[in-house]
Amino acid sequence: MLDDKSISDTIPVNDIRTDEVEFSHEAKIGKISDKTIFYLMSRGLSEEDAKAMIVRGFAYPISKELPVEYAVEMNNLINLELEGAIG
């Protein structure tokens, strides 16, 4: 998730009643890993660039199938959505 307000409703619902686990499923949505951001920042990327790279990596399989003009627009929209986002 890119902020503290976003939610994801999945069907079927997974009702986990403990804070002591990290749970995911095939259609994974979650907070971008602080460790991954730190790693990319230690390689010279800014925090914003690191987050954008991670999100674009997930979107790449879709964008590579689009005509170039649409793929460029999709990347621009990702960048706009990420401005000021929480990782």
Mean pLDDT across 64-76: 90
φ, ψ of residue 46 to 5 degrees: the values are -75, 165
Query: Residue 87: what pLDDT?
Result: 47
Q: Which domain holds residue 49?
A: 34-82
Domain contains 52: yes
Domain contains 8: no
Domain contains 76: yes
Coil, strand or helix: which one is 12?
coil
Tens of pLDDT, residue by residue over 11-68, are 667 778 888 887 766 655 667 889 999 999 999 999 888 988 888 888 888 888 999 9
The span from the CA of 7 to the CA of 15, in Å, is 14
Which pTM was predicted?
0.54
Domain contains 6: no
